[in-house]
Chains A and B, each alone.
Chain A
Amino acid sequence: GIQVEQSPPDLILQEGANSTLRCNFSDSVNNLQWFHQNPWGQLINLFYIPSGTKQNGRLSATTVATERYSLLYISSSQTTDSGVYFCAVVRGTGFQKLVFGTGTRLLVSP
């Protein structure tokens, strides 16, 4: 099956700092999503971004499908950004399974 690798596995930031999270995948994909799992376990969909760039407030994401990677940018981080960030992909089209990466655990300290 498709492999999804995320880096770094862990990240500690001071409030206000910027960060870049990376997701590499082993095969072509037609669906890529970024999720944030907060400290209470809730999984929140941040972006649906199979290609191109999107921005939502302090967060933005870029997927370069031809090179099989995606980046999630967090600017001016806040303590509420803490949690685990997951990248998830679907290989192929149609009704295919969304495969999750292992995640990046982010801790933003005040």
Chain B
Amino acid sequence: DAGVIQSPRHEVTEMGQEVTLRCKPISGHNSLFWYRQTMMRGLELLIYFNNNVPIDDSGMPEDRFSAKMPNASFSTLKIQPSEPRDSAVYFCASGAWGTEDNEKLFFGSGTQLSVL
């Protein structure tokens, strides 16, 4: 398997623009997670899905952030409008949650977002 695939790898945008980050989880995994990493706050969980259903979005910082998982092989994280403080590395991860002895989480390579 190719692992968790994220795109784009780097995104530079101007304040106020819409940003869409994409993720393809590992085939067969039933759970998908979006994390954000910054120097100040470390790795923060934004939202996670199980069987394409959002389970916990309490980490989503504000209404400007939204996430969708229309099917088992694709998810998006959208920021609209973007602000400079959204600059961070955004990671997508997937796992076979609830599977006996196999609840390891696998991360994509991340999207480095810079909002100017």
Classify chain A: how many residues form its interface, as a range: 20 to 34
Q: Determine the main DSSP class of B at the interface with A.
A: strand
Contact flags (1/0) for A68-110 with B, using CB distance below 8 Å? 0000000000000000001010100011011110110000000
Asked whether, in the complex, the Cβ of B45 is within 8 Å of the Cβ of A95, the reply is no
B residues in contact with A43, CB < 8 Å: 91, 93, 107, 110
Asked whether, in the complex, the Cβ of A95 is within 8 Å of the Cβ of B43, the reply is no
* Total B residues in contact with A, Cβ cutoff 8 Å: 26
Known A94-B98, A95-B48; judge A33-B109 contact (CB<8 A): no
Docked Cα-Cα span, A42 to B4, in Å, equals 11
Asked whether, in the complex, the Cβ of B106 is within 8 Å of the Cβ of A45, the reply is yes
Contact flags (1/0) for B83-116 with A, using CB distance below 8 Å? 0000001010100011001111111011010000
Q: Determine the main DSSP class of A at the interface with B.
A: strand
Asked whether, in the complex, the Cβ of A41 is within 8 Å of the Cβ of B89, the reply is yes
Contact flags (1/0) for A26-46 with B, using CB distance below 8 Å? 000001010100000111110
